[in-house]
């Protein structure tokens, strides 16, 4: 007899340098009825500090829970999304965290490079808020309900 699996709600980590985009993403996730814990960082350096629990995220274990999904913008100051993605996917302790690029870019080069670096999905940010809510709803259904994610390390 198979054991009934209970899905444990995952933390979604949003990495975006634009405050308005972070706020819109949060609102769109709420409007899409995605009630997972959300954490926000503003650039690739903060993202890696969060993942490695260093700098502002050092110390308390609850300060930076391991995300089950990362939503990543590409074009950011300090360390951009491409560099952060490369670091994440090359690190055996982080590479199993699904990363979804959520970018305004529609450039074929950005899409191709993101997949070469190991991104799990690439979504071009919709122009309207309604489009963003729909994208977050589909993303939520797929990544949080349909896909089996790797178990969190013990």
Instruction: Mention every residue, 6+ apart, whose C-beta is less than 8 A from residue 73.
Output: 15, 16, 17, 18, 21, 81, 101, 102, 103
Host H or E run for residue 41: strand 38-41
Scan for tokens 């940010």, then name that residue.
125
65 has pLDDT over 70: yes
Average the pLDDT over 134-151 and give the result: 84
pLDDT, tens digit (0-9, with 9 covering 90-100), for 70-118: 999 998 988 999 999 999 999 999 999 999 999 988 889 999 999 999 9
Q: What is the pLDDT of residue 153?
A: 67
Higher-confidence residue of 97 and 139: namely 97
Full-model pTM: 0.89
Q: How confident is the model at residue 8 (pLDDT cuts 50, 70, 90)?
A: low
């Amino acid at each position: 007899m198979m054991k009934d699996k209970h899905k444990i709600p995952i933390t979604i980590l949003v990495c975006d340098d634009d405050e308005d985009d972070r706020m819109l993403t949060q609102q769109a996730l709420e409007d899409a009825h995605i009630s997972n814990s959300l954490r926000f960082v503003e650039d690739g350096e903060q993202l890696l500090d969060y993942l490695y629990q260093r700098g502002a995220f050092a110390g308390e274990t609850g300060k930076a829970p391991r995300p089950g999904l990362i939503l990543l913008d590409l074009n950011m100051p300090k360390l951009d999304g491409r560099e952060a993605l490369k670091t994440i996917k090359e690190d055996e302790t982080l590479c199993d965290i699904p990363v979804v690029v959520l970018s305004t870019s529609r450039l074929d080069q950005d899409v191709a490079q993101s997949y070469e670096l190991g991104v799990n999905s690439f979504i071009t940010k919709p122009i309207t808020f309604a489009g963003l809510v729909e994208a977050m709803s589909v993303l939520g259904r797929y990544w949080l309900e349909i896909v089996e994610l790797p178990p969190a390390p013990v």
